Chains A and B, each alone.
Chain A
Amino acid sequence: MKAKFFKLLLPAFAIIMAVGMAFATEEANSTQTGYYNHPILGVQAIPTDCPETGQVLCMEGQWQVFKDPALTIPLYERFE
């Protein structure tokens, strides 16, 4: 019974738990649309995973990325 638990139930439990966790945390990690002002093309939309809090401004090349198309809410890099 104990051997059966380790050979079958434990791996099955690990897989189900991992897949469940992946679905549960999917929303928290998905990208959002960010916007930057291109001097020639105007406001451009790009996918970004930059959050609204942080210390280093989120950049797309040389242009700062914002959360809204009005370019009022800055986004920040998520890493240090």
Chain B
Amino acid sequence: MVSKKIYRTLVPTASFLLVLLFVYTATSKLLDLDTFEWRLAQMPHLSTHADLLQWGVPFSELTITGLLLSPKFRILGLYASFALLGLFSIYIIAVLASDHPTPCSCGGIISTLGWREHILFNGAFMLMALGAILQSRRQTK
């Protein structure tokens, strides 16, 4: 009973907040595509793929948004959110470990965060997605 109540609350709340995050960051990137491309071009290891990534990253975020909004694919969307945020976090850790920290290429006001704050921010959203995944798996068993 309690588990069902948590499921009913946690999964929609996590999906709502992830949709908010991905739509916000994707829109911010698309609104200022030149800046986003320029920031990508400054990043170690990614600069050669800046052309592809400037479209690929917002497209991925909006695709995941679509999955999260569809009740049928919501769980897949939560997995994809967790994976994408995980990839971003791994890259941030790699940048922090390198000698050449570069400006964050994330969209909107989030780009004003420092790298360490960004890891915490991503970690919080990853935890939330993971909680929703675990809760939905428990519910479907």
Of the candidate stretches A27-35, A36-44, A66-74, the one touching chain B is A27-35
The size of the chain A interface, using a CB distance under 8 A, is 25
> Is A52 positioned at the interface, with any CB of B under 8 Å from its CB?
no
Most interface-central of A6, A17, A18 (chain B CB within 10 A)? A18
> Is B51 positioned at the interface, with any CB of A under 8 Å from its CB?
no
Main secondary structure on A side of the interface with B:
helix
B14 to chain A, nearest CB (A): 12
Q: Is the CB of A22 within 8 A of B24?
A: yes
Interface size class of B (residues with CB under 8 A): 20 to 34
Residues of A within 8 A of B111 (CB): 29, 49
> Is B55 positioned at the interface, with any CB of A under 8 Å from its CB?
no
> Is B80 positioned at the interface, with any CB of A under 8 Å from its CB?
no
B110 to chain A, nearest CB (A): 9
Evaluate whether A26 and B28 lie within 8 angstroms (CB atoms) in the complex, with A11-B69, A14-B16, A19-B23 already known: yes
B106 to chain A, nearest CB (A): 10
CA distance A46 to B20 in the complex (A): 33
CA distance A6 to B19 in the complex (A): 14
CB < 8 Å neighbour of B19 from A14, A25, A29, A80? A14
Q: Is the CB of A22 within 8 A of B38?
A: no
Residues of B within 8 A of A10 (CB): 12, 16
Chain B 35-47, CB-CB to A under 8 Å as 1, else 0, gives 1001100000000
CA distance A20 to B23 in the complex (A): 10
Residues of B within 8 A of A50 (CB): 103
Smallest CB gap from A13: residue in B: B16
B72 to chain A, nearest CB (A): 12
Q: Is the CB of A22 within 8 A of B31?
A: yes
